[in-house]
Structure 1
Amino acid sequence: MSRPAHHPAVATLTRNPLKSSLYSQEPYFRESLCDLEHLLGESTPTTVLRHGLVVVKPDGHALGATSTVLDFYARHGFTPVDARPVTFTRSVWRSLWVYQMTQASIDRLLVNDLVMDGEGIALLLRDTTDAPLPAAVRLSELKGPARMEKQSEDCLRRAVGQPNRIFSLVHSADEPADLVRELGILFGQGERRAMATAMGSGTLSESGIQLLETVRRYDERPRRIFDQDASRKQVIAAISQRLAERELPTASREALVSAIDDLESGRVLRASAFFAALLDAAVTADSWDLAVAVSDVIEDDVPGVSKVIDNFGAAAWEQG
């Protein structure tokens, strides 16, 4: 028996027809929606519309951004109903943005693999206001775009001090449909069901309260800093140390000398070739320093290529 082109629940959760079609067939969305409907029943669409998912990515967590995120959204009428750690891997982040990374250059994909590696914090937030927009849409609008030149002065990404496009620190599900889908990607059935229960009750669990208290203490002394000059020097030092070793083949030695020149010059760098040279020469460089050092000197996107799915924003919901 063939599956219908559009899942009957999708129309209430997105204003993007293409997203409606793609998500209706996607395992992550269908599996997550099944859990929500099992626990929330007929109230699933209205409950989902009142909630949104914000994720402090590994770079934001390392820089201590979670407290600022919570305080920023609290000022706009949002309260957490669930909070839990989430582990990012190469497969996880690529699944989250598979429809957007069609635009990304190979260099951005490789640098993102370094940035999006480790622990983040997932925040399930309820909108306590009477705003007509879905919570996910409001959260996304308040967050602001990743491109810094398009950000307003009062958006979340300015509040957390986003250093550049690659280190964007935070993510939020753009629409209610994305909230459902991303729960399916980031969490297993047990955690999804617990989060659905939290949506229904509106109460942050004791473990959630303890996690946020721990994170706030952690944020007072973040694990990392974003300092491009310092990171560049660390990477150059790691390369120089390898160059000092005699057994290095001539081709690898030349590639590393060229890599140092690229880093010191600040010109556009081909990360794919640069990283390959480091791998071939067995250079041991800290992944954070490496990502920070090259994050402003790579080509982000493939010219003329678009995302499969773009965010239509609040206007699509306001106009119906």
Structure 2
Amino acid sequence: MTATTAEADLGTHRLPEPNMSAVGPRTFDSLSADPRKRVAYRLDPYAREGLDLFRAPGDRAWLYTTTFVVIKPDAVVGRRGGMILDILGEEGWLPIAARPFTFDPLLTREIWRYQFNAASRQRIAVVDHLLGSSPSLLVLLRDTSRADGLPASVRLTAAKGGADPSAARARDLRTRFGRVNGLFNFIHTADEPADVVRELRLFSYRTGTDWLRAARTATPSAAGEECPARTLLDGLEADAPAHDLDSARSVARLTVRDDVWGSLAREHGSRDDVRRWLSALEESELPAGTARWDVLSVLTDWIDCNEPGVTPLLATVSATDWRKQA
């Protein structure tokens, strides 16, 4: 067969589509309300491995009644952790298991793999310093309310509000927690059950798979006696300095320092100078202790978090999306 004949043959006969997933085409139908996510997660190694952790009888029901919250380092130094657990408890989410872990750049990018394409370069420059500043606390939550019949993760996503303060509502959980800005928003949660599957697999590389398996059989306690979340949180706070997370006060405190951060605070202490601060972040170590959080307070307040006009690969799934497919 000549090259010309072969080309003509290819032009008239469609080659068979290769099967690129060991995950069935309908596997994520009950776990996501987003058709694009159902396709993407069939090709995602963490989602596939996560499914292997949830194959026992009753696991699908567990994924509807259970979700998680990550209490981030900004919540630890801002002393919001106790308030977060209190408010979540008031709204029907009770802790059943908890484990500290520390973000690194790879984990951060893999957790937010489908959103990081829309992150600004400024946010990317700052986020690793923020999330790597101290351990975070992963807390599994049982939804004792089951309001509207929604999965626990979907109800929590709807209640917490967005990361952007400009879209805040008075009853958003993040507003009630006292969110400061787009990065100092204190918590991370999974959007829906498919994300619980994928992200718990990623976190289990840090917390241990055995811990996650044991946590699946834990039960909630109204008083929290069976879950060490508050004890672990107390330990994290004991190891981290308390901070007000106020950018204006942080600039004032930094002015007395005799390092690059003190110079910037004295000579370039306005939002218009954020690029100078970001350049210093590339070239200089952050100071220790509370001064580290002074610098992070300034940077998180002054940067633009997202690239204009760029949408995430996968958008946040809403309670409305779930109600439409019910």
TM-score by length of structure 1 reads 0.82
Report the alpha carbon displacement of residue 263 of structure 1 after superposing the two structures with TM. Answer: 3.4
The 5 Å alignment of 1:118-267 reads 118-131=134-147, 132-188=149-205, 191-202=208-219, 209-216=227-234, 223-225=241-243, 226-238=245-257, 240-241=258-259, 259-260=264-265, 263-267=268-272
Structure 1: distance between partners of 2:116 and 2:240 = 29
Gaps of 5+ in 1: 244-255
* Displacement after TM superposition at 1:195 (Å): 2.6
Letter in 1 for 2:138: A
What is the match of residue 37 of structure 2? 19
1:52 aligns with 2:57: no
> Is 2:300 the partner of 1:295?
yes
Question: Once the two structures are superposed, what CA deviation does each residue of 1:264-302 show, in whole Å capped at 9, x if it has no partner?
Answer: 2332622xx53334554x565343222111222222221
Question: Where do 5+ consecutive residues of structure 2 fail to align?
Answer: 1-18
Q: Distance in 1 between matches of 2:207 and 2:138?
A: 15
Please report the RMSD computed on the Cα atoms of aligned residues, expressed in angstroms.
Answer: 2.9
The number of residues matched between the two structures is 299
In structure 2, give the amino acid aligned to 1:287: R
Q: Which whole-Å CA distance do the structure 2 matches of 1:158 and 1:261 have between them?
A: 32
- Report the secondary structure of 1:42's partner residue: coil
Task: Please give the secondary structure, in 1, of the residue aligned with 2:67.
Answer: strand
Amino acid at match of 1:20: R
1:36 maps to 2:39: no
Larger Rg: 2
Q: Find the residue that maps to 2:298 and give its secondary structure.
A: helix
1:2 deviates by 4.3
Q: Is the 8 A contact 1:63 1:222 kept in 2?
A: no
Task: Tell me the secondary structure at the aligned position of residue 53 of structure 2.
Answer: helix
Shift of 1:138: 0.7
Deviation at 1:222, TM superposition (A): 7.2
Q: Deviations over 1:3-39 (max 9, x none)?
A: 25755431111101111111112111111221221xx
Aligned residue for 1:248?
none
- The answer for the alignment partner of 2:277 in structure 1 is 274
Decide whether the 8 Å contact of 1:53 with 1:136 is kept in 2: yes
Shift of 1:261: 7.0
1:171 CA displacement: 0.9
1:59 alignment partner AA = D
Q: Could you tell me which of 299, 311, 314 is aligned with 2:319?
A: 314
Cα gap change, 1:192 to 1:104, in 2 (>3 Å): same
Deviations 1:104-132 (CA, angstroms, capped at 9, x unpaired): 11111111122111201111111112431
Deviation at 1:180, TM superposition (A): 0.9
Q: Note if contact 2:277-2:299 (Cα within 8 Å) is conserved in structure 1.
A: no
- Distance in 2, matches of 1:128 and 1:135, equals 9
The one-letter code matched in structure 2 to 1:276 is: S
Q: 1:116 to 1:241 in 2, by over 3 A?
A: closer
Q: Which amino acid aligns with 1:92?
A: L
Secondary structure of 2:163's partner?
coil
